[in-house]
Amino acid sequence: MQDSKNSKWFLDYFSPSEGHMHGIRTIFSSKKTKFQQMDIMDTASYGRCLVLDHKMQSSEADEFIYHEILVHPAMLMHPNPKNVFVVGGGEGATVREVLRHKSVERCLMVDIDEEVVMLCKEHLPEWHAGAFDDKRTALKFLDARRYLEETDDIYDVIIIDISEPVEEGPAYLLYTREFYEMVNKRLSAEGAIALQAGTTTPDRLLNLTAVHKTLMQVFPHVVSMQAAIPSFGLPWGFTLASKQTDPRKLSAEDIDKMVSSRVSGPLKYYDGDTHQMSMHLPKFIRKAIDEQKRIIEDNAPIFTYN
């Protein structure tokens, strides 16, 4: 964070030579947890924001875009999702969106950083909207990868809502082929997963394209999607993988009918038209995915700029 003459600023670095500057009105919490640096602040343009390891995670003004495009496409790939596993998702907004699906009977959220979750619960009530206290929610504070290695439970949908793979951060081993193979084994026959996959700017496509190609080693249907999230300062990518349903074969009308019958309350971002639009990636991204050879593995991880 940097001070100017009149204001305090948070500079969200994209690279050593580029960033997005946010004017700060108030800092509610700033803490170095066991796993990462966490800041919850009130910004002039986007309201309250969660920042982890000096990177914007979500903001009051546009978190609905991120969480709706992350959650609902994967949930709709399964005909009747009852048991859902959320990896990460400290703010509680991912669980909030999962619980909007009427079929859900249980949602297990596993986050390694209890301090972040508890501070989000205190300072970001609009994000979780009571989801942590819902009787369908189960919450565990431990390593999600280790949990999947040790459990025999089967889930219909797994949502991976974790920070970028920063070197020495808590998330980079949750982007590898070996981890996705574990996820696949813990999914039901019609299961699906979704995750955020990094920016889609022309010069920084390694994360998205490598995630896409790595998931193709494990799942028969893999689709990357794109959304504009203003507080991030960059367009953002999400990747969806399914064991049975091809999301490209669902029409806008199909999506709208499922949302109407299966989801409680109106959505602000995602619908049939948005589903179609999000999958229509520009040529340079499609070309980069086609040409990508990198497969992410435990002994060959990828890291984004820190």
Digit-coded pLDDT (tens) for 156-171: 999 999 877 766 666 7
Q: Do domains 2-59 and 63-291 have the same CATH topology?
A: no
Looking at residue 306, its pLDDT comes to 46
Query: Per-residue b/e over 24-38, b at no fewer than 16 CB within 10 Å?
Result: beeeeeeeeeebbeb
In the block, tokens 């813990």 appear at 186
Provide the total of helices (H) and of strands (E) in the chain, helices listed first: 10, 13
Closest among 184, 56, 171, 34 to 115, alpha carbons compared: 34
* 242 pLDDT more than 80: yes
Domain-wise residue ranges, the chain: 2-59, 63-291
**How far, in Å, CA of 156 to CA of 89, rounded?**
18
In CATH terms, 2-59 corresponds, of 3.40.640.10, 1.10.10.10, 2.30.140.10, 3.30.70.2860, to 2.30.140.10
C-alpha span between 59 and 49 (Å, rounded): 4
Residue 304 has a pLDDT of: 73
Tell me how far apart the alpha carbons of residues 207 and 73 are, in angstroms, rounded to a whole number: 20
**Which residue numbers are catalytic?**
161
For residues 127-144, average pLDDT: 96
CA atoms within 13 A of residue 26's CA, in its CB half-sphere: 6
Calculate the CA 191 to chain-centre distance. Answer: 17
Q: pLDDT tens across 85-120, in order?
A: 999 999 999 999 999 999 999 999 999 999 999 999
Range of weakest confidence among 144-153, 186-195, 235-244: 144-153
Return the pLDDT at 48. Answer: 97
CATH architecture of 63-291: 3-Layer(aba) Sandwich (3.40)
> pLDDT at position 111, please?
95
